[in-house]
Chain A
Amino acid sequence: MRADAALARPVAQRAAGPARKRLPIALLAAAFAAYLAWSVSVRQAALFVVGAGLGVALAGARFGFTTGWRTLVVARDPRGVVGQVVLLALASAASMPLLAHFPELAAALGPPSVSLVVGAFVFGLTMQIADGCGSGTLYKAGLGVPLNAAILPLFALGSFAGTLHLDRWLALGALEPVGLVDRFGAGGALAVTFAGLALALAAAWAWTRRAPRVAWLDRRWMAGAVALAVFATLNLVIAGQPWGVVYGFGLWGAKVATAAGAFDPAASWFWSQPGNAAILQQSVLLDVTSITNVGILAGALWIAAGSATSGRGLTGAQWAIGLAAGFLMGYSSRLAFGCNVGAMVSGITTGSLHGWLWVPLAFAGTVVGLRVRRRFGFDPR
């Protein structure tokens, strides 16, 4: 009866509901952006807006890297992965020429290493249990999903712990980072990247061809892919570096640990590096990754204000394993030189070889993670 009454209301009146609920969030975000512009820098204010755009795109389109991989493996549904390939293609087509033209812009160049192999596998495994990668944890926390909101501090703690051990992991074996734009120029790098993406699509086609036919192009995934490609490119142009998530989390953990007297940055290989030491000292509002992370949370909150979001109830065991997975995601993403965003999206679209190594390793971890997920009953039958 109530549903009938709601349907009977004029469309304009129904549309006004979410808009009214979203207005206070929009005003708060605008006030925060104005504060950043006045007291920090116009660049940081712009990056907050870019972050909010990323959050709206991620949450509005429910653009989940984790979900896309899961539906491909479990349901042989390629739509999420096709959306991710479109995102990678569009962002590569925009980013690589920019990198070749503007020497100020930096690629997301991680070193191929033992650390990357272990980190990417563990990250792919744990992101399925935690039901969210780096960006997924952020936008779902912003949407108000309880597990992801609770995971975020543990993700930060894990990422910080990863920074403390990174030198020892790198000592196990690492090569110099390989940048495709530096080696082959923008055109060559794009050709290699598109060939790799075509290979990924061919693998998805081979895996799904015996499944019931579904349309490969889904409007929701495509809209998310286009919006994310635009905002990721803006991030590169404004910040001078590609979109990242994990660095900010590690920084937050390091700041809290330092203030608590539990950690001496000078004794840490990672945090005693001049760049990291300076970032640790200065306001978190000056950090590029932190401010886009906050923007993503705000964008997702704005989406949540206008739509119903409910997290499924979890058992105690599911909570425990989910939180442990969150900590491991933070630790492993630091070892892997990024999550789906820093390593996969930013690595591949700026021509880093480590992004291409990251994907199959994380995907192998995902296959194992899906079994663990099933074992602990995360997927209702």
Chain B
Amino acid sequence: MTGRALRVAFWALLAAFLAWDHARAPRIDLRFEPPLLAAGSGRQSLGGHCALPK
């Protein structure tokens, strides 16, 4: 596989994964949209992070 073909395959795979997962996941309820900035919002982040053991 040439470098260009590999690059095209890489981006196609990534785009397909994002689109597939977004399509199969439950619909996003925009009423629960978090504030733009977590700092000062009074709401803890619920995101996962690699430093956290669980």
Interface residues of chain A, those whose CB is within 8 Å of chain B, are: 39-43, 46, 98, 102, 104-106, 108-111, 141, 144, 146, 149-150, 152-153, 166, 170, 174, 236-242, 244-247, 250-252, 255-256, 259, 269-270, 273, 275-276, 278-279, 281-289, 294, 297, 301, 310-311, 333-334, 337-339, 342-343, 346-347, 352, 354
Tell me the chain B residues, 24-54 only, with Cβ under 8 Å from chain A.
Answer: 24-26, 28, 30, 33-54
The reply to whether A110 and B14 contact each other, CB–CB distance below 8 Å, is: no
The reply to whether A110 and B53 contact each other, CB–CB distance below 8 Å, is: yes
Q: How far is the CA of A241 from the CA of B44 in the complex (A)?
A: 9
* A-B interface, 4 closest residue pairs, ranked by CB to CB distance from nearest: A240-B38, A240-B45, A108-B51, A246-B50
The reply to whether B48 and A286 contact each other, CB–CB distance below 8 Å, is: no
The reply to whether A252 and B39 contact each other, CB–CB distance below 8 Å, is: no
In the bound complex, residues from chain A placing their C-beta under 8 Å from that of B6 are: 144, 146, 149-150
- Nearest A residue to B3 via CB reads A146
In the bound complex, residues from chain A placing their C-beta under 8 Å from that of B50 are: 108, 244-247, 250, 289, 333-334, 337-339, 342-343
Q: How far is the CA of A303 from the CA of B39 in the complex (A)?
A: 31
In the bound complex, residues from chain B placing their C-beta under 8 Å from that of A174 are: 53
Tell which of A40, A150, A247 touches B28, judged by Cβ atoms closer than 8 Å: A40
When A and B form their complex, what is the total count of cross-chain residue pairs whose Cβ atoms lie within 8 Å? 167
Tell which of B10, B30, B39 touches A105, judged by Cβ atoms closer than 8 Å: B39
- Size class of B's contact patch? 35 or more
| Given A41-B30, A247-B48, A334-B50, A237-B38 contact (CB < 8 Å) | yes
In the bound complex, residues from chain B placing their C-beta under 8 Å from that of A287 are: 47-48
The reply to whether A46 and B48 contact each other, CB–CB distance below 8 Å, is: no
In the bound complex, residues from chain B placing their C-beta under 8 Å from that of A273 are: 54
- Nearest A residue to B10 via CB reads A149
The reply to whether A98 and B49 contact each other, CB–CB distance below 8 Å, is: no
The reply to whether A281 and B25 contact each other, CB–CB distance below 8 Å, is: yes
- Nearest B residue to A156 via CB reads B17
Q: How far in angstroms is the closest Cβ of chain B from A53?
A: 16
The reply to whether B28 and A39 contact each other, CB–CB distance below 8 Å, is: yes
In the bound complex, residues from chain A placing their C-beta under 8 Å from that of B30 are: 39, 41
In the bound complex, residues from chain A placing their C-beta under 8 Å from that of B36 are: 42-43, 46, 238
In the bound complex, residues from chain B placing their C-beta under 8 Å from that of A251 are: 48
Consensus secondary structure, chain A interface: helix
The reply to whether B45 and A288 contact each other, CB–CB distance below 8 Å, is: yes
Interface residues of chain B, those whose CB is within 8 Å of chain A, are: 3, 6-7, 10-11, 13-14, 17-18, 21-22, 24-26, 28, 30, 33-54
The reply to whether B14 and A104 contact each other, CB–CB distance below 8 Å, is: no
- Nearest A residue to B20 via CB reads A259
The reply to whether B25 and A283 contact each other, CB–CB distance below 8 Å, is: yes
Q: How far in angstroms is the closest Cβ of chain B from A352?
A: 7
The reply to whether B51 and A343 contact each other, CB–CB distance below 8 Å, is: yes
In the bound complex, residues from chain B placing their C-beta under 8 Å from that of A333 are: 50
- Nearest B residue to A341 via CB reads B50
The reply to whether B44 and A106 contact each other, CB–CB distance below 8 Å, is: yes
In the bound complex, residues from chain B placing their C-beta under 8 Å from that of A342 are: 49-51
Tell which of B14, B40, B48 touches A102, judged by Cβ atoms closer than 8 Å: B40
The reply to whether B46 and A275 contact each other, CB–CB distance below 8 Å, is: yes
In the bound complex, residues from chain B placing their C-beta under 8 Å from that of A255 are: 21
Q: How far is the CA of A338 from the CA of B51 in the complex (A)?
A: 5
The reply to whether B41 and A104 contact each other, CB–CB distance below 8 Å, is: yes
- Nearest B residue to A148 via CB reads B10
The reply to whether A106 and B25 contact each other, CB–CB distance below 8 Å, is: no
If A41-B34, A279-B48 are given as contacts, then 17 extra A-B residue pairs at C-beta distance below 8 Å, sorted by A number, are: A42-B36, A43-B37, A105-B39, A110-B53, A144-B6, A237-B38, A237-B39, A240-B39, A273-B54, A282-B28, A284-B22, A288-B45, A294-B18, A311-B3, A337-B51, A338-B51, A343-B50
The reply to whether A239 and B33 contact each other, CB–CB distance below 8 Å, is: no
The reply to whether A104 and B26 contact each other, CB–CB distance below 8 Å, is: no
Q: How far is the CA of A343 from the CA of B51 in the complex (A)?
A: 6
In the bound complex, residues from chain B placing their C-beta under 8 Å from that of A286 are: 28
The reply to whether A275 and B48 contact each other, CB–CB distance below 8 Å, is: yes
In the bound complex, residues from chain B placing their C-beta under 8 Å from that of A281 are: 25-26
